[in-house]
Structure 1
Amino acid sequence: MRAAIQVLSAIMLNVEFLTGNLGNGFIALVNIMDWVKRGKISSVDQILTALAVISRITVLWSLYIMVSIFSVYPDAEVTMTTVRLTHLIWVISQHFSIWLATILSILYFLKIANFSNSIFLYLRWRFTKVVSVALLMSLLLLFLNILVSNIHIDMWMNKFETNVSYSYKLKNFTHIPTLLVLTNSMVTLMPFTVSMTMFILLIFSLWKHLKKIKHIAKSSRDTSGTAHIKALKTVFAFLLLYVIFTFSLFVHLWSYEFGEKKKLFKYFCPVGIIAFPSLHSFVLIMGNSKLRQTSLLVLSMLRCKIQGC
């Protein structure tokens, strides 16, 4: 039973890893080719490309390597340098993954929502400044996150050295306090809250729009309502996947404190962890008309080639 669960979770993990790399690579390739062809790139495509190349692929590889190593070899000995380097890569890639997705949520809100508020109109026309401020704030939070995390690592290592005979080595990496993950989660709580706020405001904007068109003649196609719904689906998928990711991460860490019988479900936690950077790429593809049409064209060509058309 246990062996079957391990095999099943390993298969799901590898499928997610491969499809995630394909999805993010597809986003980057299509946007870069379109950029070269047109000589310009839109703000949405810039964010999507940065999200796919800079953060998501890095997140996928770092998560996959860490989860694979410490799931297969939970009692492996690692040096303190490995701990610091692994955590640094994890923090930086995850940080930009969350913040770029949040900026994308802000962009959807400013471009699609319809409010007459002066602050909203100012932010809509100053989107570049909004992005710059958001990135600057994110860099400040990233610095604080790394600083606090290194302090926690030093404190934990000092305590470890006083209780263990061999120095600068850690037995069972999975027993490092979950305080590091908790610190990172607290820092990313701000962008998550911003995305949640954008989601609620988009719902309110859609409600106002639907209320308004009840009193006027409906056009054959409600483009504004359709845009609202697409944006809401994309932002909701991001929020849901990130909640699953965070929950799976904490359960995976805490599962090592449980009894052997309760440890079986921990094999599926890595699947939930990898699902965020992997599946979210396909959400972005389906939510973007250019990427969706290109993907459908590629799939039709592949199907035709396989069938010998």
Structure 2
Amino acid sequence: MTKVTDYTDNDISEPVLLITLIVPGIECITGMIGNGFILTTNTIEWLQNKRLSTSDSILMILSCSRILLQFWMMVENTYSLLFRLSYNQNVVYKTFKVNFMFLTYSNLWFAAWLNVFYCIKIANFTHPLFLKLRWRITGLMPWLLCLSVFASLCCSLPILKDVYNVYVNTSIPVPSLNATENKYFTETNVVNFALIYNLAIFIPLIMFIFAATLLIISLKRHTLQMKNNAMGSRNPSMEAHMRAIKAISFFLFLYIFNFVALILYMANVLSANSLGTVLCKIIMAAYPTGHSILLIFSNLKLRRTWKKLQHNLKFHMKV
């Protein structure tokens, strides 16, 4: 698969440049603030109590990885738009991509494991395998997270050996009126891309979908049982279940959209600075931000801390 990208000064219009810089930038900054809040809240609890639950530990790791990912996405997006010729130099391009891919893989794995952990701990299934996993998941989780980091590293490092993209810095002169115009070629090895890149993000996708589906089924089943017991539609427990179902459904929606955007963006099937590429960048920046905001408002401890922080800010502003 070969994509031809024209990196002349007139390659991108000013409105598109501003949109591509500003919208993902705002999303990344918002996401870093949200993830910084999650990380700070759990770190303070860890320092005070000298211990942290497994779910909060995964949240801390996920938040830290997302802060790094969104910071790197913002830097790469800015550099690729403002310094396009330098960005497409072989060493620079590989440096940006290998870090982006490692952080992306890790982020997807951590989010999937968080969803799997919630599913195993919350979902009400009596299958022996499920019960065995519930008993052992807490002890297994540190090893699973370390294994995910190792797998992410193994799947991202091949880009340094031109496994995914080759001839990144190759150019040919193209006559253009009275001047010579360079067109840069980015060639993607389709077989290696499909085997390594797609597999690396497809496995956590399947895990996330499977765990989210099981959790939704379990919550809906429990909600129906409460309705059949005539507990009333305004019962707080039932409303909490419905909020959880909506939140998990939206998590799933964001995860799948992010998956599609990643595939299109990394496969070089879209021309640089096209509307499709801009949308992919916006979606990739929106996913960790949206997911983190939902995690804050669906987690009782984080929600209470956020409200307390808002109250304190309002009080100090009045003073």
* TM score, norm. by length of structure 2: 0.78
Q: Which amino acid in 2 is paired with 1:117?
A: H
Match 2:215 to one of 187, 193, 202? 202
- Equivalent position of 2:269 in the other structure: 254
Query: Per-residue deviation at 1:235?
Result: 3.4
- Equivalent position of 2:301 in the other structure: 290
Query: Is the counterpart of residue 302 in structure 1 residue 317 in structure 2?
Result: no
Query: Per-residue deviation at 1:190?
Result: 0.7
RMSD: 3.3
Q: Deviations over 1:244-282 (max 9, x none)?
A: 33333455543317xx9xx34544432222112222221
Query: Per-residue deviation at 1:289?
Result: 0.8
Change (3 A) 1:246 1:211: closer
Match 2:104 to one of 94, 97, 111? 94
Match 1:278 to one of 289, 292, 314? 289
Q: Which amino acid in 2 is paired with 1:199?
A: A
- Equivalent position of 2:252 in the other structure: 239
Output the CA distance in 1 between the equivalents of 2:308 and 2:202: 38
Of stretches 278-287 and 213-222 in structure 1, the one that deviates more from structure 2 is 213-222
Output the CA distance in 1 between the equivalents of 2:16 and 2:99: 30
Q: Which amino acid in 2 is paired with 1:256?
A: S
Q: Which amino acid in 2 is paired with 1:40?
A: R
Q: Give the conservation status (yes or no) of the 8 Å contact 1:51–1:100.
A: yes
Query: Per-residue deviation at 1:70?
Result: 1.5
Output the CA distance in 1 between the equivalents of 2:306 and 2:107: 23
Q: Give the conservation status (yes or no) of the 8 Å contact 1:70–1:173.
A: no
Match 1:141 to one of 151, 157, 171? 151
Secondary structure of 2:270's aligned partner: helix
List alignment gaps of at least 5 residues for structure 2.
1-11, 174-181
Query: Per-residue deviation at 1:156?
Result: 2.1
Q: Give the conservation status (yes or no) of the 8 Å contact 2:35–2:63.
A: yes
Q: Give the conservation status (yes or no) of the 8 Å contact 2:79–2:87.
A: no
Secondary structure of 2:229's aligned partner: coil
By percentage of residues, which structure has more helix?
1
Q: Which amino acid in 2 is paired with 1:201?
A: L
Q: Give the conservation status (yes or no) of the 8 Å contact 1:115–1:205.
A: yes
Output the CA distance in 2 between the equivalents of 1:87 and 1:222: 47
Output aligned runs, 1:1-309, within 5 Å: 2-53=13-64, 55-76=65-86, 78-132=88-142, 134-135=144-145, 137-139=147-149, 141-146=151-156, 148-153=158-163, 156-157=166-167, 175-177=186-188, 179=190, 183-216=196-229, 218=231, 221=235, 223=237, 225=238, 228-252=241-265, 253-256=268-271, 263-264=274-275, 266-306=277-317, 308-309=318-319
Output the CA distance in 1 between the equivalents of 2:98 and 2:114: 24
Query: Per-residue deviation at 1:151?
Result: 4.6
Of stretches 128-137 and 109-118 in structure 1, the one that deviates more from structure 2 is 128-137
Q: Deviations over 1:146-186 (max 9, x none)?
A: 365445448824x977x879xxxxx8778352757654343
- Equivalent position of 1:168 in the other structure: none
Q: Give the conservation status (yes or no) of the 8 Å contact 1:77–1:172.
A: no
Output the CA distance in 1 between the equivalents of 2:164 and 2:282: 31
**Paired residues, number:** 295
Q: Deviations over 1:7-48 (max 9, x none)?
A: 344332222122111111111111111111122111111011
Q: Give the conservation status (yes or no) of the 8 Å contact 2:172–2:184.
A: no
Change (3 A) 1:135 1:18: closer
Q: Which amino acid in 1 is paired with 2:289?
A: S
List alignment gaps of at least 5 residues for structure 1.
166-170
- Equivalent position of 2:3 in the other structure: none
